[in-house]
Amino acid sequence: MKTIDELLHEGVEGKRVFVRADLNVPLEGTTITDDGRIRAVVPTVKALADAGARVVVASHLGRPKGAPDPAFSLAPAATRLGELLGAEVAFATDTVGDSAQATVAGLADGQVAVIENLRFNAGETSKDDAERGAFADALAALADLYVGDGFGAVHRKHASVFDLPARLPHAAGYLIATEVGVLKKLTDDVRRPYAVVLGGAKVSDKLGVIDHLLEKADRILIGGGMAYTFLKAQGHEVGISLLQEDQIPAVLGYLKRAEERGVEFVLPVDVLVSPEFPDLKTKAPSNPTTVAADAIPADQEGLDIGPETRKLYASKLADAGTVFWNGPMGVFEHPDYAEGTKAVAQALVESPAFTVVGGGDSAAAVRILGFDENAFGHISTGGGASLEYLEGKKLPGLVALED
């Protein structure tokens, strides 16, 4: 895989460089609530601009249905990128149309432009190779070189991720090089004990990674909404908690395999419950109660791990050599149910292990809860991509960057 440093050594001055970034940031209206993904691509964009390239940054945002939708415009991300670069960033109001062509044509050496949300064009996500290829052809006409640096999208076989690199000389940006290096430490060169913390809403989202990590991890800690399917599989009442009943056979199989392989599987011993899901807009107090994990009332919903579980999980992480964490322990967006996620983050901060926060809600949580990002070994920009890599899958965006 060619690196951006090799590309810079060959010279990029005066060349149009298409940077596939991941600017898929959370928005409240036009306000960015977490700019981590934008900050992550700044080193690549700055290095290219400083070397005299004419940089064309492209990304998706959200899930528009192949047509323009103002709610998913990249304009706020373009403004924030300019602030972080300390330079004006031009913005094209379409992807490959008149505005994009004119904006790119107007770039001088060292200048940067962002084109509008790639998913405003149906060709970006099409499953039809010809339709995707046609969009990739149009994107390729905007550039001379391609740099892949949108790690959060490399698991997608999309036009700008998979098809476009085949049409231009290409290299991996600094972010992708860093992410892949970290993931190799989680698969090929692991310091033990290797502890994995998995949370989030659905067991089904994590089946593949659990299956793969049962061959590699020493202990797996489960929290979040997915924990209640595990508790139900053990025969416990889970009330009105999140439950994927159809996944119980798979969960029982994993618990059995873990026992056979000597992998420690750790589930909550107590949880915070409430009869109603909390109001995440007003953050009004919801008066949760703490109950044993095997004694959830039938009319209550589990919304966070309890204080004894927090202590237990911290103890299981204290002596780890490597920790991978993906998924919050509860509804961390509400202060009544943030303590479990906060406790796991604090345990990672205090651990001597190589610690990796696996993107998505986990990455957002550590920022929202006020943790210093530098206190972790690595915070990934791609939750889904990280999980699929750890499942042993070939990621289309990485395959496309191979020579």
Q: Which residues are catalytic?
A: 37, 202, 360, 384
Of 209, 210, 186, nearest to 377 by C-alpha is 186
**Residue position matching structure tokens 């439950």:** 243
Q: Angle at CA 16, nearest 5°, toward 11 and 20?
A: 105
DSSP 8-state secondary structure symbol assigned to residue 162: I
Q: At 169, which amino acid appears?
A: P
Q: What is the largest CA-CA distance in the chain?
A: 67
The kind and range of the H/E element at 379 are strand 378-379
For 396, other C-beta atoms within 10 Å of its C-beta total 19
The kind and range of the H/E element at 316 are helix 307-318
318 in the Ramachandran plot: left (φ > 0), alpha (ψ -120 to 50) or beta?
alpha
Q: What are 394's two structure tokens?
A: 């070939």
